[in-house]
A and B are shown apart, each in its own frame.
Chain A
Amino acid sequence: MGETIEKLKWLLTDKYSNKRVEEEIRDKEDLLSSGISTCLGCGSEIGLRIALKVLGRNTILAIPPGCMGGVGVVGYGTTTGTEVPVFFPLLDNIASMLSGIKRYYRRLGRKVHVLAYAGDGGTADVGFQCLSGAAERDENIIYICYDNEGYMNTGIQRSGTTPYKAWTTTTPVGEARRGKPQVNKNMPLIMAMHEIPYTATASIAYIEDYVSKLKKAAEVEDGLAYIHLFSPCPTGWRFSTDKTIEVARLAVETNFFPLWEARYGEIRFTKKIWFKKPVKEYLKAVGKYSHLTDEEINEIQKLVDDRYRMLKSLAR
């Protein structure tokens, strides 16, 4: 009985907050050009558009080389893709460059949001060292990793966040190899373990959740705020361009990508999944897993369960 009431409360507040956030976001100024050339069904574009709506004009934006750079967010020639100050950091110095900006503005006594919108390669692979350093030094920057699970801008190569068994052009499927042989880095948990003021996972299928996390990230003043945004890529993951949100939602509903946040020494799930679906449903919806046998799917189910259990053991 108690659990039923609890469920009802969740559903009602969800519905209410969804509507409220929808209205709030709809009326906010769109600071990203409508003319950027993302692929059809791009998840990362949604993530950036929303982030800029929430953070507003008082933001300095870093777009490292990657999909968002390639589609023209920093601009081309003498044109620009956004209305906020924007620049290309190097792929491997994102957090360091932002540290320098924030330190100087802090010295001037000016409050400015300093935001990175970076892919998984620049975050979990080549740029990881400087991100880890910035986290340790409590640099007051907002860092969003749009995780499309690989180097999509250069044409779908594996990265440290490409999941186990997934197909990419550098982890092809053949007689001898069947996709990526290694399990992906648990990047958001790694960041939470830096004990920074705020860490969260987010999904473009749960905008209300993402928006509330962006707001919390923007309020942080004593260190780094990190959001790991799950961002399905129809081009690189091989699914129909109208299924981006559906795929993102399935990842959450199967616990493949749970939504949580960590702050003040606590990890908390922000999206309760009352009816967990088998991971098979998610894997079947994404073409990069189309080669998987039932046995391999079971193996992935176990990995997902294990990772979720570890998170749960830490969470409230």
Chain B
Amino acid sequence: MIKIVDGNQAAAYGAKLSRPEVIAAYPITPQTPLVEYIASMVARGELDAEMVEVESEHSALSVLHGASLSGARTFTATSSQGLSLMYEPYFRTSTLRLPVVMCIVTREMISPQSVWGGQQDAVTVRDAGWIQLFVENNQEVLDTVIQAYRLAEDRRVLLPVNVCLDGFYLSHMAEKVVIPDQNEVDDFLPPLVMDHIKLDPENPMSVDPLTPGPLLTHYRNKHVEGLENAKDVIEEVDREFEERFGRSYHGKIEPFMMDDAEIAVVTMGSMSGTVRVIVREARERGVRIGMLKLRMFRPFPKEEFRELLKDIDVIGVIDRNVSFGFSSGTVYYELKSALFGYHNPLMVSFIAGLGGSDISKMHVRKVVEILEKVHKTGKVEKEVVWMDLEEKLWEKQLKS
């Protein structure tokens, strides 16, 4: 079935097809329609799930803790301030090894007050032990939610997964999406069997007692092992998904026009679509440039980047977030640290698309222009480039 749906609706379809048994959510812009879509699916009887309309995001994830510990497949979604309110149970979801799937409809963090797009929210919680997948379009939203359950529930992984879709750019933009058949999804995604950790009077278990340091260290190590395993499992899941549904997202990183490339642009999320257009345009001019779309931000695919970037001279990373303290984009410095000791390319960090600003063709052309210049001169004049800053757009906005 083909439908025209926005990103929130695509996520709701993905969730519905995955047959979650308990859903808890609290509305927040831009995730709100997602909750409404799910609520109406439950109300119409299309989705047979316990729907808990909680009084906060903190409770949304907490309800899922209880449900998941009882053996339920669970789903929720949130954005920015909701995610930060959720941080306490968020961290614990991964350390309890609960295979929860949660969409983050990414949004700028305040202040200044903003309800618009940005990836600061999801990126800020990157070290809380979850798997984070960023997606480019609404078809990928739907497909990745389904893939996320397979990944989360895999016995080699058993970790929660975020499917991160750009607020407004995806959540409120409608496009053509293929909705798979329920039977096919059922074949792809068998019911969840929780037995590693479970609250059941028929088999009493003490969950999360006070734990001494060395045992805790052991659990932390196993947690990291689960994350590392996810790097292989996502490839398997994506391959199997392609065999069944005919669509693939290249697992962790999608290379685009990377053959014989000397310059690479690294992207994450919906900006990738625009970058594809400009990379093709530059190729027509004879520039040897390609794009790497980072899909799996957590765990960070260090090894694959090292392989994909081994012959690249110049790398530009576009970040829709800021690393306060490292004073660049976050993906930029993580990539740089992943390459250290392996390759030594020239690298530029581009900070763009904050607070709902567009990353337009014009912006990406500028990125390419700067990278071409770096390639020609062999010199990085400015390591961190803040888009829109030189044009002083903000001065115009202050005056108006």
Contact = CB atoms under 8 A, between A and B. Distances in A.
Q: Which 6 A-B pairs have the closest CB atoms?
A: A100-B66, A133-B55, A75-B209, A93-B62, A80-B206, A96-B62
Given A59-B201, A60-B201, A130-B56, A103 B210 contact: no
B193 interface: no
Chain A contact residues: helix, strand, loop or mixed: mixed
Interface of B: 21-22, 24, 50, 52-56, 58-59, 62-72, 74, 88-89, 92, 199-201, 203-212, 215
A245 interface: no
B65 to A, nearest CB: 5
8 contacts: A76-B211, A87-B69, A90-B88, A99-B59, A100-B66, A104-B66, A129-B58, A130-B59
Interface-central residue, B63, B203, B207, by most chain A CB under 10 Å: B63
A93 B65 contact: yes
Contact of A98 (B53, B58, B66, B88): B66
A224 B24 CA distance: 18
Contacts of B63: 96-97, 99-100, 103
B128 to A, nearest CB: 14
A101 B67 contact: yes
Contacts of A99: 52, 54, 59, 63, 66
A83 B69 CA distance: 18
A74 B208 contact: yes
A86 B56 contact: no
A130 B55 contact: yes
Contacts of B215: 77-78
Given A129-B56, A133-B55, A104 B208 contact: no
A87 B208 contact: yes
Interface stretch (A105-113, A148-156, A185-193, A266-274): A105-113
A93 B89 contact: yes
A194 interface: no
Contact of A93 (B59, B67, B211): B59
A182 interface: no
A59 B62 CA distance: 19
Contacts of A79: 206, 209
Interface-central residue, B24, B70, B71, by most chain A CB under 10 Å: B70
Contact of A103 (B50, B58, B201): B50
Given A86-B206, A97-B66, A99-B52, A133 B59 contact: yes
Nearest to A83: B204
Contacts of B69: 87, 97, 100-101
Contacts of A130: 54-56, 58-59, 62
Given A75-B209, A104-B67, A92 B58 contact: yes
A57 interface: yes
Interface residues of A, number: 44
Contact of A85 (B53, B68, B207, B212): B207
Interface-central residue, A82, A107, A112, A136, by most chain B CB under 10 Å: A107
Contact of B207 (A58, A76, A86): A86
B21 to A, nearest CB: 6
Nearest to B59: A96
A105 B50 CA distance: 11
A74 B206 contact: yes
A89 interface: yes
Interface in A28-82: 57-60, 69, 72, 74-82
Contact of A96 (B21, B66, B68): B66
Given A130-B55, A133-B54, A137-B52, A100 B62 contact: yes
B210 A87 contact: no
A86 B208 CA distance: 9
B93 to A, nearest CB: 11
B55 A84 contact: no
A238 to B, nearest CB: 28
Interface-central residue, B68, B71, B206, B212, by most chain A CB under 10 Å: B206
A63 B68 CA distance: 18
A239 interface: no
B196 to A, nearest CB: 14
A132 interface: yes
A113 to B, nearest CB: 8
Nearest to B203: A85
B199 A74 contact: no
Contacts of A58: 201
Contacts of B50: 103-104, 106-107
B20 to A, nearest CB: 11
A76 B70 CA distance: 22
A75 B212 CA distance: 11
Given A88-B208, A100-B52, 15 more contacts: A57-B201, A58-B201, A69-B210, A74-B210, A75-B206, A78-B209, A79-B209, A85-B199, A85-B206, A96-B62, A100-B68, A100-B69, A103-B63, A104-B70, A130-B55
Interface-central residue, A74, A79, A97, A106, by most chain B CB under 10 Å: A97
Contacts of A77: 209-212, 215
Interface-central residue, A81, A83, A99, by most chain B CB under 10 Å: A99
Contacts of A101: 66-67, 69-70, 199
A103 B71 CA distance: 11
B270 to A, nearest CB: 32
Contacts of B55: 129-130, 132-133, 136
A137 B56 CA distance: 13
Given A75-B210, A105-B70, A96 B54 contact: yes
B39 to A, nearest CB: 14
A58 to B, nearest CB: 5
Nearest to B74: A100
A301 B203 CA distance: 51
A239 to B, nearest CB: 29
B209 A84 contact: no
A221 to B, nearest CB: 16
A93 B58 contact: yes
A104 B72 contact: yes
Contacts of A76: 209-212
Contacts of A104: 21-22, 50, 66-67, 70-72
Nearest to A94: B62
Interface in A103-156: 103-107, 112, 129-130, 132-133, 136-137
A96 B201 CA distance: 19
